[in-house]
Amino acid sequence: MIWICIICSARNLKKSEVQRESMPCHGCGSTWRARATGLAVLQGLGYKIRPLGLIRSDWSRIGLGISDDINLSVALHSKFSYSNSYFDAFPFLDIRNVPIRARRGFEFVTCSDVLEHIDTGITKAFIGLRSLIQQGGFMVASVPVGQLEGHAEFYSGLSQFEIEGDKVHWLNSKGRKFIDSKPEFHGGRGQNLAFRQFSVNSFKESLLSAGFTEVIEIDFAPKFGVPKLEYSGLVIARC
């Protein structure tokens, strides 16, 4: 099957199994997840689905990325009043403590595979994300989801932690010491230690509890490099 990358418009031949981090585009290197995030932004904004390069620029659409894929970030920046932010680098944004001047400032926010890496204050992070978005706006959000019933915190009651080699030394709120000899690390820049695992339901419930009014699945688009994938963990959350 030939598909066209929704981010860079390169033509590709499907060669690999569909997974969240697979099907790399030979043009920009984007994975299924990055392309699905871009697709969801266009769906949320009400555009006819086509590669981002064919979208007419509209600087009235204001968006914010939370540690977005660099290729997706460049493409969105070329079409909308969009900027990217980071938890550990400039331009810095701690979504657990959103500045007043940023609240309700954006029509759309993208937050792809970030929330599993927030060490403490995960409820504040969800609420902080909601606070960024204007009424009637939306967030494209994703996390790796497991086929479990609920939500699993790997370091329950975490107070502080330190990574030494391939182990995590951590303290809980009562001062008790633990060593995790098999921590879960994900690829990418920044803090890549995973602190939790969401289920499909627990992720949606967390978004709704934070004040989002509707959480929907994206409409897949195989011809643009986003074929259907179960347990994708990627949703559009509307305000």
CATH number at residue 80: 3.40.50.150
What backbone torsions phi and psi does residue 129 show, to the nearest 5 degrees?
-60, -45
Same domain, 64 and 162: no
Segment 36-66, tens digit of pLDDT: 999 999 999 999 999 999 999 999 999 999 9
Name the band, by pLDDT with cuts 50, 70 and 90, for residue 190.
low
Q: Provide the residue range defining the domain that includes 60.
A: 2-152+194-238
| 99: three-class secondary structure by DSSP | coil
Same domain, 134 and 92: yes
Segment 59-105, tens digit of pLDDT: 999 999 999 999 999 999 999 999 999 987 889 999 999 999 999 99
Structurally, the chain folds into a number of domains equal to: 2
Segment 114-167, tens digit of pLDDT: 999 999 999 999 999 999 999 999 999 999 997 777 789 999 999 999 999 999
Q: What H or E segment, with its residue span, contains residue 157?
A: none
Same domain, 46 and 58: yes
Rounded CA gap, 180 and 134, in Å?
40
| 125: three-class secondary structure by DSSP | helix
Q: What is the pTM of this model?
A: 0.94
Higher local confidence (pLDDT), 25 or 1? 25
71 to 101, 155, 170, 234: CA distances (angstroms): 28, 33, 35, 18
Same domain, 169 and 68: no
What backbone torsions phi and psi does residue 171 show, to the nearest 5 degrees?
-115, 145
144 to 58, 84, 114, 148: CA distances (angstroms): 32, 21, 10, 12
Same domain, 132 and 233: yes
**Among residues 62, 55, 57, 28, which one has the least CA distance to residue 39?**
55
Amino acid identity at 76: L
Integer-rounded Cα radius of gyration of the chain? 18
Q: What does DSSP say about strands 158-164 and 167-172: parallel, antiparallel, or unpaired?
A: antiparallel
Same domain, 80 and 172: no
